Amino acid sequence: MCSVLASEKQTFIYRLRHSLAHIMAQAVLQIRPGAKMAFGPPVESGFYYDFDFQGEPLGERDLENVENIMRRIIKEKQPFAQAYKTLDEARAFLAQTDQNYKIEYAEELVETGKAGGEGLGFYTNGPFTDMCEGPHLEHTGEVPKACFKLDRISGSYWRGDEKRPMLTRIYGLAFETKDALDDFIARRKLAMERDHRKLGEELDLFMMDAEVGVGLPMWMPNGAVVRDELEQWARESEFRAGYQRVSTPAITRSELYHRSGHLPYYAESMYPPMIVDENDEYYLRPMNCPHHHKIFGARPRSYRDLPLRLAEYGNTYRYEKHGSLAGLLRVRAMCMNDAHIYCTPEQVEGEFRAIMAMYRMYYDHLRMGNFRVRLSLHDPKSDKFVGNEEAWNRSEDIVRTVLANLGIEFEEETGEAAFYGPKVDIQVKNLLGREETVSTCQLDFVVAERFNLEYTGNDGEKKTPYIIHRAPLSTHERMISFLIELYGGAFPTWMAPMQVQIVPVKDEVLPCAHEIAGRLRGGLFRAHVDESSESFNKKIRNAVTHKIPNIWILGMKEMENRNITWRRYAVQEQQTIPLDDAIAKLEVLRKDRVMDNFAE
């Protein structure tokens, strides 16, 4: 049932998890001898087994008992022994204990020719035998000490089909060592606490609404601040790097996508067309490129104008399948830190180098350290890549050389390129180690020709530019989903929805608190006075709950001396300093975009 690479099956972790599934099933059958077994594969971070309990199923309260029996089985060092049976033998054997699910599967394996030449594989350890293709450990004693834990129970359907019987799935976690298991559990706990959907709700960052549509996030004021600050940073970085901003509509007539080649090829990822009549049909755009190409093509261009770097935080829309939507990570409306660089062949390497440096600057600054760089190449055997082999090799060489020269470690992956050229993907891992492509940078040697884009070279000849597509800060949606989880919702001062919470110790200082807040707001700082009637300690706790990076405490003494007492998020120590110094320090936090949510 699993389509797992043969090499992966030989790893210790695969055999360990697979064996633990059998050990668990043996234990479960000791408690409930009448239970029927369905499937029990190793999975990411552990294993599971599905049972039909023919009545009252096991519950969470039984898991400790199952674990105890498992530990006994492990102590017994039961060897795993393989044997083969014909279909008839298998049927007869499985019928003894009424294992109807296994019989159904055995028949399917034989019918579809998936059973090996030797017949149907069975593994036996101790009193327990299961139809299974292995491989397993040598014996149950090989299971390392305290490396597994039964995790949870859920419902599932036989063969995932809701018209078939409902089964009970028991999940276990398993790693090669106790430390790895403990680490995973700790990380999962953190990940759950920091889940961007949970924090997005708690911190009023974004929302979705059924009447507006799934996968269409609406950014509430707190979330809009984070977007705006990221975007402002990108604007400044891009201005300094010689980019020029443009602004284009999120729709187009279908003609544009017939030219670009996105239609009909890409149609299934797009929203359906808006059909005015047969000659006038519009699409929401799934990407910004063709609009930018139109701007490049609207004027005669000379080599003196190149590189031309057109940037836009562009709104795009993709009709992702309902089931694949996930918070902000996978959405249907997104805003991308996009730019297209039109350049001569000689400029490609320098531009690529500058872009990679910009990526590194962003990732370093944001403390997004948990990523790998993937060089995605074309697959010469596939027909989904446009252009000739020589051009592909030349383009891939350019990118490979740039990465090597910059000393960036990367892994090559065939078949992951864009249809128009090779790309560099930044693969970021979340707290649970799951990887997503966050940023990408693509070298395009195909599309300029489709749009008849050209420039006059210094020899007076018309030439076709290379195009680099890049989006270092990804989409707001994806990038912020990672940042929320990485920071646990505690943004640095420069990005924080509320930057300073002013906590007055008593009512007498309220006017002064408001005066300070007014001064801060006049300087475009996001500041707020806690006027509630809560106790002082509750006020501090409230500011911490809202993950406000700076609490300024104002008592009588502070007021008299024009001081404030500064307390940082989640830090006990506090410091009383002159108000003017505090504001100056705040200016620096903002101007330098200091990551004050990380200890230096």
Using CB under 8 A, list all residues that contact a second copy: 204, 207, 209-213, 216-221, 223-225, 227-228, 235-236, 239-240, 244-253, 255-256, 259, 271-276, 282, 284, 291, 294-295, 298-299, 310, 312, 315, 317, 319, 333, 335, 521-522, 524
Q: How far is CA 387 from the centre of its chain?
A: 31
Q: Is the bond into 307 cis (omega within 30 degrees of 0)?
A: yes
Nearer to a second copy, 190 or 267 (CB): 267
Nearer to a second copy, 95 or 212 (CB): 212
What is the nearest approach in angstroms of a second copy to the Cβ of residue 448? 16
What is the nearest approach in angstroms of a second copy to the Cβ of residue 210? 8
What is the nearest approach in angstroms of a second copy to the Cβ of residue 432? 28
Nearer to a second copy, 144 or 273 (CB): 273
- Using CA atoms, how far residue 503 sits from 149, 281, 519, 525, in Å, is 46, 57, 15, 16
For the chain, the straight-line distance linking the first and the last C-alpha, in angstroms and rounded, comes to 49
Please report which residue ranges of 409-549 form alpha helices under DSSP H. 447-450, 476-487, 510-522, 536-545
What is the nearest approach in angstroms of a second copy to the Cβ of residue 453? 13
CA-based nearest residue to 140, from 156, 153, 124, 116: 124
Q: How far is CA 562 from the centre of its chain?
A: 47
Among positive and negative, which fits the CA dihedral 231, 235, 241, 247?
positive
What is the nearest approach in angstroms of a second copy to the Cβ of residue 7? 41
What is the nearest approach in angstroms of a second copy to the Cβ of residue 490? 20
**Four-point Cα dihedral 107, 108, 109, 111, nearest 10:** 80
What is the nearest approach in angstroms of a second copy to the Cβ of residue 289? 13
Nearer to a second copy, 41 or 273 (CB): 273
Do the Cβ atoms of 308 and 342 come closer than 8 Å? yes
Tokens of 555: 């008592």
What is the nearest approach in angstroms of a second copy to the Cβ of residue 273? 7
Nearer to a second copy, 5 or 524 (CB): 524
> Can you say whether residue 216 is alpha, beta or left, with left for phi > 0 and alpha for psi between -120 and 50 degrees?
beta
What is the nearest approach in angstroms of a second copy to the Cβ of residue 212? 5
Nearer to a second copy, 240 or 381 (CB): 240
Do the Cβ atoms of 59 and 20 come closer than 8 Å? no
Nearer to a second copy, 251 or 577 (CB): 251
Cα–Cα distance, 413 to 374 (Å, whole number): 7
Nearer to a second copy, 201 or 581 (CB): 201
Tokens of 593: 């975009």
Beta bridge partners of 421: 418
Tokens of 289: 């490129």
Cα–Cα distance, 455 to 303 (Å, whole number): 6
What is the nearest approach in angstroms of a second copy to the Cβ of residue 252? 5
Cα–Cα distance, 485 to 478 (Å, whole number): 11
Nearer to a second copy, 242 or 578 (CB): 242
Nearer to a second copy, 90 or 480 (CB): 480
Do the Cβ atoms of 499 and 586 come closer than 8 Å? yes
